[in-house]
Amino acid sequence: MSGQLSPIDTAKFVAAKRACDFVEDGMRLGLGTGSTAAWLVRCLGEMVREDGLRITGVPTSVRTAELARQVGITVTSLDEAKWLDLTIDGADEVDPELNLIKGGGGALLQEKIVATASDRMLVIADVSKQVQALGAFPLPIEVVPFGWRTTKALIEETLTSLDVLGDQASLRLNGDQAYVTDEGNYILDLHLGRIGNPRQLALVVNQIPGVVENGLFIDICDVVITGHGSGKVEVRDINTGTTEEDRIEFVDNSNLFSDLND
């Protein structure tokens, strides 16, 4: 890859680049999944290769593990690392309280386990991910394949009784087959439109037998870095209540994007 990035990739890149300021030598780091998290992994790989940064990464998916190894990051399992200093990940939606919808890429289960096992979670996102209320993005629910149709019916029934289901749940597909997560499960996407009470919904859904985990991340995220196509970034910290603005230049560096050059 060379030359200019598209505005959306610039927004993802500048958010990822700014997130690298939070990474310190020796950290055990949760590495998220998705196109935004991939920019982070590339930027961290460059810091490892060029600046001698020593970090140990715990990836949240097979594809993040592959990319991390490819760019030179030492990778370990969560069981080996036990506890992490920081997790940096993308999101599908971020609300004003820094609650999230995640799992658009199917990695929500490992992502939630890893983020919860971290001192802090930092989310990187382009500005399109900011919403006033969660739910326009379909909410992913990871379910075990056994009896998934019954689980789906139970979810729909439960949500209808709560008056929150906008439409039916749909099984996520990969071609004409069910999409299978890294943990061997299926994903049901709930088309809700707007989630009035995400905290309640997250608790209720997880009570249904067959549900493994849902894509609502409530009170898990500490900091959100929002990137814009112009290079502007906003850093919002829920603990300090502060928002800072910054600007990052995109520097064309073919080493940085070596995995995209194939």
Ligand X SMILES: O=C[C@H](O)[C@H](O)[C@H](O)COP(=O)(O)O
Binding site for ligand X (CB under 6 A): 32-37, 89-92, 102-108, 111
Closest CA to 237 of 40, 19, 9, 17: 19
Cβ at position 140, least distance to ligand X in Å: 7
Q: Which of 46, 93, 111, 142 is catalytic?
A: 111
Tokens of 201: 């919904």
Is 102 labelled a binding residue?
Answer: yes
Cβ at position 248, least distance to ligand X in Å: 17
Is 103 labelled a binding residue?
Answer: yes
Rounded to an integer, what distance in angstroms lies between the CA atom of residue 43 and that of residue 124? 13
Is 104 labelled a binding residue?
Answer: yes
Q: Which is nearer to ligand X, 30 or 45 (CB)?
A: 30
Place of tokens 């920019």: 39
**Strand locations in the chain, DSSP E?**
28-31, 56-59, 74-75, 84-89, 93-94, 100-101, 118-126, 139-143, 169-171, 173-174, 177-178, 186-190, 211-214, 216-217, 223-227, 232-237, 242-247
What three-state secondary structure class fits 207? coil
**Residue nearest ligand X, Cβ-based:** 34
Tokens of 247: 């600007």
Cβ at position 36, least distance to ligand X in Å: 3
Is 129 labelled a binding residue?
Answer: yes
Q: Which is nearer to ligand X, 16 or 248 (CB)?
A: 16
Please provide residue 148's backbone torsions phi and psi, each rounded to the nearest 5 degrees: -65, -30
What three-state secondary structure class fits 196? coil
Catalytic residue check, 111: yes
Q: Which is nearer to ligand X, 30 or 105 (CB)?
A: 105
Cβ at position 136, least distance to ligand X in Å: 14
Is 25 labelled a binding residue?
Answer: no
Closest CA to 28 of 43, 42, 44: 44
Q: Which is nearer to ligand X, 53 or 125 (CB)?
A: 125
Residues annotated in the binding site for substrate, as ranges? Answer: 33-36, 89-92, 102-105, 129
Give the residue numbers annotated as catalytic, written as ranges: 111
Residues annotated in the binding site, as ranges? Answer: 33-36, 89-92, 102-105, 129
